[in-house]
Amino acid sequence: MNKMDREILRILQIDGRRSFTDIGAAVHLSANAVADRVRKLTQAGVIRGVRAVVDPAALGLTMAAQIDVKLRTTTSADDFENAIRQLPQVLTASLLTGSFDYSLSVACVDQTDLAAVLEFIRDKAGAQETYSRIVLHSIRLGEPEPRDNPTAPPPAPPAAARRRPRGGAGRQR
């Protein structure tokens, strides 16, 4: 992947519906050249899909929660993942290190719906223990940004984004 591919990815991450003609104008390539690069990035698995980002609340899913799950010793990760695929409320499932095995992000209609999800996870998906938290507010900070050198540390934020600690620099309490 070269610098041109990374710039095309940056544009698509902002607006996945942008035309190849518009992208080409921005990166000084023809629409056909952009289409070819996007096809190759898709075949290589760099682009995994293009989808609409839907507000769960607009679908009546007004209760968001995080559920940490510790599996029974007899439950494999594959078995657990296959079981939770049956739950449309589960948006993401992350395998973790630490005290819990998984962290789930869920979107539910209400408390009764969340309780049903928890019951399924415990009774049918092989959870030994769960720890749930209701999400009051969340923000999406973006997608992974393509960098010229992925092993280099990310650039420092602009000076305006850095904040001095309260009470003045270097002051201790």
CATH of residue 11's domain is 1.10.10.10
Q: Indicate the pLDDT class of residue 173, thresholds 50, 70 and 90.
A: very low
pLDDT digits (tens, 9 = 90+) for 42-70: 999 999 988 888 888 899 999 999 999 99
Q: How many domains does the chain have?
A: 2
- Domain extent, residue 32, equals 3-43
The answer to whether residues 109 and 130 belong to one domain is yes
The answer to whether residues 73 and 119 belong to one domain is yes
- In a domain, residue 143? The reply is no
The answer to whether residues 68 and 131 belong to one domain is yes
Assign residue 53 a region: left if phi > 0, alpha if psi is -120 to 50, beta otherwise? beta
- In a domain, residue 85? The reply is yes
- In a domain, residue 150? The reply is no
Compute how many other C-beta atoms are within 10 angstroms of the C-beta atom of residue 91: 13
pLDDT digits (tens, 9 = 90+) for 132-156: 999 999 888 877 777 676 666 666 6
